[in-house]
Structure 1
Amino acid sequence: MILPIVAYGHPVLRKVARDIDNSYPDLDKLIADMWETMYGSNGVGLAAPQINRDIRLFVVDSAQIFEHMDEEERKEEDYPDAPGVKQVFINAHIVEEAGDDWAYNEGCLSIPKIREDVYRAEEVTLRYMDEQFNEHEQTFSGITARVILHEYDHIDGKLFIDHLTPLKRKLMKRKLDDITKGNIRVDYKMLFPK
Structure 2
Amino acid sequence: MAILEILEVPDPRLKTVSTPVTRFDEGLKTLVSDMFETMYAAHGIGLAAIQVGEPIRLLVIDLQEEDMDAEPEECHDHGGEKHFHRPVKNDPRVFVNPEILDPSDDLKTYQEGCLSVPEIYADVDRPARCRVRWQDLDGKTHEEDMEGMMAVCIQHEMDHLEGILFIDHLSRLKRQMALKKLEKIRKAA
Same fold (TM over 0.5): yes
Partner of 2:66: 67
Letter in 1 for 2:36: W
Question: Identity over the aligned pairs, expressed in percent?
Answer: 40
Partner of 2:164: 158
Correspondence list, 1:83-102, <5 A:
85-102=91-108
Cα distance between partner residues in 2 of 1:51 and 1:36: 12
CA gap of 1:21–1:184, structure 2 versus 1, over 3 A, is: farther
Q: Is residue 24–residue 138 contact of structure 2 (8 Å, CA) maintained in 1?
A: no
Q: Please tell me the root mean square deviation across aligned C-alpha atoms, in Å.
A: 2.2
CA gap of 1:21–1:101, structure 2 versus 1, over 3 A, is: same
Partner of 1:21: 22
Counterpart of 1:109 (choices 111, 115, 126) is 115
SS in 2 for 1:104: strand
CA gap of 1:165–1:103, structure 2 versus 1, over 3 A, is: same
Correspondence list, 1:1-194, <5 A:
1-23=2-24, 26-62=27-63, 64=64, 66-67=65-66, 85-177=91-183, 183=187, 185=189
TM-score, normalization: structure 2?
Answer: 0.81
TM-score, normalization: structure 1?
Answer: 0.79
For structure 1, the 5+ residue unaligned runs are 70-82, 186-194
Q: Deviations over 1:134-178 (max 9, x none)?
A: 011221111111011110000111000011112211222323556
Give the number of aligned pairs: 168
Letter in 2 for 1:131: L
SS in 1 for 2:103: strand
For structure 2, the 5+ residue unaligned runs are 69-88
CA gap of 1:22–1:161, structure 2 versus 1, over 3 A, is: same
| 1:5 Cα deviation after fit | 0.4
